[in-house]
Amino acid sequence: MATPIVSRSNAPGNSGEGRAAPTLLEASGTNRYYVLGLLALVYSFNTMDRTILSVLIEPIKAEFRVSDSQMGLATGLAFAVFNALAALPLGLLADRGNRRNVIVACLSVWSAMTAFGGMVTSFPQLVATRILVAAGEAGGGPSAMSMISDIFPRTSRATAISVLFLAAPVGGMIALAGGGWLAGHYGWRITLIAAGLPGLVVALLLFLTVAEPPRGRFDGVVVAEKPPLRSTLGFVFGSPTLRHLMAGMMLITFVLSGVGAWGPSFFVRSHGMSLQQIGPALALAHSTAFVSIFLGGFVSDRLSRRDQRWWPWTVAIGLLLAAPCLLAVLLVPDPMVALVANGLYTLFLSIWFGPSFGMVQSLVPPRMRGTATALVYLVNNIVGFGLGIQLTGLLSDSLVHLGPDSLRYALTIMVGVILWAALHFILAARTLRGELAAAISDEAKA
C-alpha cells in the first residue's frame, strides 16, 4: 500500500489550518500526483455511478413498466434536485472543515446507495436510492477541486483539474461497456451492485493515505477567515465573468446529460442495436475524451501565459466544433458513421472541463472555493443535469407519433444549446483579465 501522506500538522483531527506548517505534500513533489490520482479515481466512481442507469433504462422500463418521462425523473430531475439541495451545505462544509473527510463520507454514501439500487423491488424504491446517490455525489467534486487548488499553483490548475476530469470518461466507459455487458449477461440488478461496491474500498484508501492540505498555500496567504454564505453568493453573482462561466457550464451540462442519458436508447431505437453492441461502441467513442480533457487544460494553460482569455476561448472553439458533429450523430442513417461522429462530438465538447473549473478556482478566494464550486454544481445539476434529461424525455413522449425516431428529433435541440453555451464563454473572455488581475492584487495585499 502507498506510504500514508499524513503529518502532525494536518492529520485527522488537526487540519493545520491557520498556519503554514510544512507537510509531506510540500516536502515531496510526487505526493501531490498521488493525491491527484486518487481524487481522479474517486471522480471516476462519481461518473460511473451517475451514468450507469442510462445504459439500464430499457430493462428497468420493461420490469417496472414505466414511461420515458418516469425514467427521466429517476435518472434526471429527482437526482438533480436532491444533488442541488445537498450541494451548498456540503460546499460550506468543504470551506470550513476537513475536505478529505467530506470526500470519504460522500463516496461511501453514493457507492452504498448505488449497490442498494440493485436490491429494490419497486420503481419508487429505485428513485429513493438515486436520490441518496445524488446527495452523496454533491460533496465530492467541490471538495476535490478545492484540495487540488491547494496542491497546484494557478498556472497549472487547469491542467491538474483536467487530470481530475480525465476520470469522467473512465467512469463513463466502464458504465457503458461494463454496464452493457453485465446487464446483457446478468441483468440490471447485478450491474448496479457491481458498480457500487468498489467505491467503499477506495473511500477507505483515501482516509488512510491522504491528509488535508493547508489552504491558500499557492495564493500567497494562509487563510483563517471563514466568510458567511451571503458573502460568497455576493462575490460569485457580482462577477460578470463568473456569471457567464456558470451559464455556459450549465448549458454544457444540459447537453451532456441529455445526450449521455438517452444516447444508448437512441441507438437502440433508431439503429436497432442491442445493449451488448451499443455499450462497447459508445465506450470506444467516449475514449476520445481522454485526449481532449487533458489537452483542454494543458493547451489553455500554455496559451494563457500569453493571454489569459485563451482559457474561455479554448472552450468556445471546442463547442463550435462539437455542434455540427452532434447534428451528424442524430441525422445520418448509417450507425457506424453516427458512432464516428459521436466520437468527434465527444472529443470537441470535452475540452471544457479543466479551463472552466480552473477559472472558477482562480477567480474566487481560497475560503470560497468549495462553496463557489458547489454553486456551479447546484446550477448545473438542477437546470443542466435535471432538465436536460427530463425535457428530452418529455419531448420524446410528445413526438411519439414519429415512432422510434421520436428520441432522435427530441435530441436535436441540443445542437442549439451548444451554440448558446459557446456565446457565454466568448462573453466571459471580455472581463476575465480584469477580474483575475483584481484577484491577484487582493492576494498580494493579504
Segments making up each domain of the chain, as ranges:
31-445
Give how far the C-alpha of residue 170 lies from the chain's centroid of Cα atoms, to the nearest Å.
12
Can you give the pLDDT at residue 1?
A: 38
CB atoms within 10 A of CB 47: 21
Return mean pLDDT, the chain: 83
What SS3 class is residue 5? strand
Q: What is the mean pLDDT of residues 68-96?
A: 79
Q: What local confidence, expressed as pLDDT, does residue 442 receive? A: 55
Q: Taking a C-beta distance cutoff of 8 angstroms, is the pair 354, 300 a contact? A: yes
User: pLDDT at position 111, please?
Assistant: 95
Chain position carrying cell 436497432: 272
Q: Identify the pLDDT of residue 10.
A: 40
pLDDT for the residue numbered 51: 82
Residue 396 has pLDDT above 90, yes or no: no
| DSSP one-letter code for 403 | G
Alpha helices in 332-367 (DSSP H): 335-349, 353-363
Do 50 and 200 form a contact (C-beta atoms < 8 A)? no
More confident residue, 122 or 284: 122
- Cell numbers describing residue 225: 477567515
Beta bridge partners of 210: 5
Q: How many other CB atoms are found less than 10 A from the CB of residue 201? A: 10
Over 70: is that where the pLDDT of 264 sits? yes
Say which range, 28-37, 212-221, 303-312, has the weakest mean pLDDT: 212-221
pTM: 0.71
Contact predicate 36/149, CB 8 Å = no
* pLDDT at 90 (0 to 100): 87
The CATH number of 31-445, from 3.30.70.260, 1.10.287.130, 1.20.1250.20, 2.60.40.10, is: 1.20.1250.20
Q: How far apart are CA 7 and CA 12, in angstroms?
A: 9
Q: Above 80 in pLDDT, residue 226?
A: no
pLDDT of residue 218: 64
Q: How many CA atoms lie within 13 A of 190 on its CB side?
A: 9
Grid coordinates representing 90 are: 456540503
pLDDT at residue 67 in the model: 82
For position 384, what pLDDT does the model report?
80
Instruction: Give the mean pLDDT of 9-17.
Output: 40
Mean pLDDT of 288-310: 88
Q: How far apart are the first and last CA of the chain?
A: 40
Alpha carbon distance 266, 271 (integer Å) = 8
Please tell me the predicted confidence (pLDDT) of residue 3: 38
pLDDT, residue 369, reads: 83
Residue 266 CA neighbour count, 13 Å, CB half: 26
Report d(CA 163, CA 146) in Å as an integer: 14
Kindly state the percentage of the chain with pLDDT values over 70. Answer: 88
In sequence order, what DSSP letters do the residues of 415-439 get, joined into one string? HHHHHHHHHHHHHHHHHHHHHHHHH
**Between residues 262 and 169, which one has the greater pLDDT?**
262
Please say whether the beta carbons of 140 and 352 come within 8 A.
no
In terms of phi and psi (left: phi > 0; alpha: psi -120 to 50; beta: otherwise), the region of 9 is alpha
24 pLDDT higher than 50: no
Highest mean pLDDT among 70-84, 141-155, 323-337, 382-396: 323-337
Candidate from 215-219, 232-236, 243-247 with smallest mean pLDDT? 215-219
**Percent share of the chain, pLDDT over 90:** 31
What is residue 126's predicted lDDT score, i.e. its pLDDT? 92
Cell of 284: 470506444
Burial class (CB in 10 A: 0-12, 13-18, 19+), 272: exposed
The pLDDT tens digits of the residues spanning 88-125 come to 888 888 888 888 999 999 999 999 999 999 999 999 99
Top pLDDT among 248 and 436 is at 248
Banded model confidence at residue 320, pLDDT cuts 50, 70, 90: very high
pLDDT-based confidence at 220, cuts 50/70/90?
A: low
Q: With a cut of 90, say whether residue 5 has pLDDT above it.
A: no
Number of Cα atoms under 13 Å in the Cβ half of residue 202: 24
